[in-house]
Amino acid sequence: MKRLEFRAMNCQMLAVLDREDAPVAEWLAQVPLWFADWEQRLSRFRMDSELSQLNRSRGQALPVSSVLWDVAQTALKAADYSEGLVTPTLLRALEVAGYDRSFSILQASGQPSGAPIHLQTKTSTAVRDWRTIEWSSYPRSIRLPLGVQLDLGGIAKGWAAEQAVQQLSLHGPALVDAGGDIAVSGPQADGTAWPIGVTDPEGKTVEMLMLSEGGVATSGRDHRRWQKGDLWQHHILDPRTGQPAQTDVLTVTVIAPTTCEAEMAAKVVLILGSRDGLHWLEAHPSFAGLLILEDGRILCSRRLKPYVWS
Amino acid sequence: MSKSPSKKRPSSATGLKWFISASATVATLIGWQAFAAQESVSVVAQQPQPQPVQVPAVQPSPAIRQPQAVSKASPASSLYKQPKVKTPVVRSTLRHRPAPVTTTRSSR
């Protein structure tokens, strides 16, 4: 088993190929290049990215690459599935909340700038907007209505993990971890599941999940947060209020058939809180989840048990 | 009437001898007691430490070693009891918690 760690998309990445042959290192070395290409297309923090160009298109249809097309489609499907709880159209609200530059820069510069705003008004517009986005399949183009901008954030990481693991799997059993959003191609070479730890905010492993297929993702308000005035903000916005989600859940880990679905489901549960979030998980048979609450309790959905190492 | 020989009183020298002799006897007795006491202490001190009892391993006779060869009707069979040996449970595979390949966490 060979591993390669690198940074991309402002996150720590890991690519694993469960083979010992000499060319494995060469194959793994390709992965950071793929991520660099995807980041250049999908980052909202790069003014020259394809996404930034789309966000500046001022209501005009813009031809887009297959990468941006796929990720945007995935993000809009997530919005449909979650009935708008996870939507890519919260960019303006995120910027207003202070998340107006990459998190590494936020950390370096202290508190982000941002004038006091009326989040409620602006965000309610954003929530309505995801269905107003127009796209054409041939040639591929997207038209954002005026005032609508996209943030593909977590979905982009999940999508990248899926794409990378799919390409690596041509050479053998593979796992790709994109900042906590993890995709596996299938079981390990010996037929066993991949052991994946779930950590609490202090970094202590609280559970060991065994994953043979699909993906797992964690969403949390334990790390990417900042202070604005007297209030702590975090990057998981509740589209119903336009403000950082007020929830008793600190982190949510979800196992799903795909990493993007896991990413979406984890955000839904985080926003809904422990009671409604667990009900939502139980109502969706494709998902299994683990919640770490603010008071330290750990709750699991009923379908998690087959995935827990014992 | 003839005068019976009068009993001769012991002289003071004789009494002294008697006293010395008696004292010597007493001293000897005391000395023996002390010696005996010393002996008893030393005996205790020199008692050999109890040694673990070496129980020789029971080697059943060939006939007993193969109890199946003995007829159940034989009185010898009632004498032989198969020792109850607890067989340790051995798992076919060790169940160590595996080290995680990676961990899932909120974006870092």
A95 or A110, higher pLDDT: A95
Find the mean pLDDT for residues A113-119.
Answer: 34
* 8 Å CB contact between A124 and A238: no
pLDDT at A14 over 60: yes
Comparing CB atoms, the residue among B100, B102, B106 nearest residue A223 is B106
Find the mean pLDDT for residues A63-70.
Answer: 96
Is A197 at the interface with chain B, CB within 8 A?
Answer: yes
Chain B residue with minimum CA distance to A235: B107
pLDDT band at A156 (very low <50, low <70, confident <90, very high): very high
- Tell me what the pLDDT averaged over chain A comes to: 87
- In the prediction, which pLDDT does A269 show? 97
CA distances from A105 to A101, A102, A112, A226 (A): 7, 5, 9, 12
Of A113-122, A220-229, B81-90, where does the model show the most confidence? Answer: A220-229
pLDDT at A265 over 70: yes
Biggest CA-to-CA distance, chain B: 146
Find the mean pLDDT for residues A205-228.
Answer: 86
pLDDT tens per residue, range B25-70: 766 666 566 544 444 433 444 445 555 556 555 555 444 444 454 4
**A62 vs A111: CA distance, rounded Å:** 35
**What ipTM goes with this model?**
0.82
| SS3 assignment, position A174 | strand
Q: Which residues, numbered 45 to 104 in chain A, qualify as contacts with chain B under a Cβ-Cβ cut-off of 8 Å?
A: none
Find the mean pLDDT for residues A121-130.
Answer: 53
Find the mean pLDDT for residues B67-74.
Answer: 47
Amino acid identity of residue A283, one-letter, is A
**A54-58, A127-131, B2-6, B31-35: least confident range:** B2-6
- In the prediction, which pLDDT does B83 show? 62
pLDDT at A254 over 80: yes
pLDDT band at A237 (very low <50, low <70, confident <90, very high): confident
**CB atoms < 10 A from the CB of B67, how many?**
16
Is A127 at the interface with chain B, CB within 8 A?
Answer: no
| SS3 assignment, position A111 | coil
pTM of the model: 0.71
**A123 vs A242: CA distance, rounded Å:** 5
Comparing CB atoms, the residue among A219, A251, A309 nearest residue B98 is A309
Cis peptide before A139 (omega within 30 of 0): yes
- Would the CB atoms of B101 and A195 count as touching at under 8 Å? yes
Cβ-proximal residues to A256 (8 Å cutoff; 6+ apart), any chain: A214, A215, A216, A217, A262, A265, A286, A287
